[in-house]
Amino acid sequence: MNHDFILRKERWARKMSGQEKQEIRSTDRLPPGQREVTNFPVLDLGIQPEVPLDKWTLKIHGHVENPVILNWEQFTALPRFRDVSDFHCVTTWSQFDMVWEGVAFFTLADLVRPKPSCSHVFFKSYDGYSTNNPLDVCLDDDVLIAHHWNGSPISTVHGGPARVIIPKKYAWKGAKFIREITFLDRDILGFWEVRGYSNSADPWLEERFSDYDSRQLS
């Protein structure tokens, strides 16, 4: 009998007898390897900075025509954008139908006007966190700097006063407690990206760690 057939059948038998973990299959909304939750867990570096609204500023600068430093009043006076999206954390939980309200990334880009040299965006937060994304990822129509979640101001544990939401990427690509946005002419890796996480972070391709990136290249 064919040796490969026997190996397959053994593997099938192990799986059926529950000795091998059942693979979670993707549905239309659940990316591979994820499970749905409804309790919105908190993921952070152990620092939850309290930033009073009268001290809060958002600096937006770098390869742009019109760098700005916005205070809370100026930021929240910008056109309000609302978007409902699913949220995928690399630690395998996903939560559906998150209602985010804030300022579209497009609105900020219109304000500062990225120069033709700009290719990437670096995000820095009040807790020392950072992350990076290509400019075209940030300019997707569902990307925003949110100050409300499900109808209420975003709590401190979830990244208030304002946090970046990039629904099509794993959630570490969206900085909570956002403080500074730098437009760059090259890529600079952020906090988790220098610690072995994937730089592209696409949940549908299961780009969790940087070895996935190199596997794609080889």
Smallest separation, CB 197 to ligand MTE (Å): 9
Euclidean distance between CA atoms 218 and 53, whole angstroms: 48
Contact between 147 and ligand MTE per CB under 6 A: no
Query: CB count, 10 Å around CB of 162?
Result: 25
Here's the x/- map for ligand MTE, 114-143, by CB under 6 A: it reads as -----------x-x-x--------------
| Among 159, 160, 190, 203, contact with ligand MTE (rule: CB under 6 A) | 159
In degrees and rounded to multiples of 5, residue 45 shows phi and psi of -95, 10
Euclidean distance between CA atoms 93 and 31, whole angstroms: 10
Here's the x/- map for ligand MTE, 171-190, by CB under 6 A: it reads as xx-xxxx-------------
Nearest residue (CB) to Mo ion, 89 versus 111: 89
Smallest separation, CB 209 to Mo ion (Å): 13
Number of residues that bind ligand MTE (CB under 6 A): 18
Place of tokens 């916005």: 70
| Among 30, 68, 78, 89, contact with ligand MTE (rule: CB under 6 A) | 89
Euclidean distance between CA atoms 5 and 141, whole angstroms: 48
Q: Where are the alpha helices (DSSP H) in 53-104?
A: 72-76
| DSSP-based three-state secondary structure for 171 | helix
Contact between 84 and ligand MTE per CB under 6 A: no
Binding site partner of 42, from Mo ion, ligand MTE, none, Cβ cut-off 5-8 A by kind: ligand MTE
Smallest separation, CB 16 to ligand MTE (Å): 34
Comparing C-alpha atoms, which of 102, 212, 206 is closest to residue 147?
Answer: 102
Place of tokens 């949110």: 146
DSSP character at residue 67: -
Q: Which listed range, 50-58, 96-104, 166-174, 200-208, lies at the site for ligand MTE (CB under 6 A)? A: 166-174
Nearest residue (CB) to ligand MTE, 102 versus 174: 174
Contact between 122 and Mo ion per CB under 5 A: no
In degrees and rounded to multiples of 5, residue 198 shows phi and psi of -60, 145
Nearest residue (CB) to Mo ion, 43 versus 111: 43
Asked if 85 and 37 count as a contact pair (C-beta separation under 8 A), the reply is no
Contact between 109 and ligand MTE per CB under 6 A: no
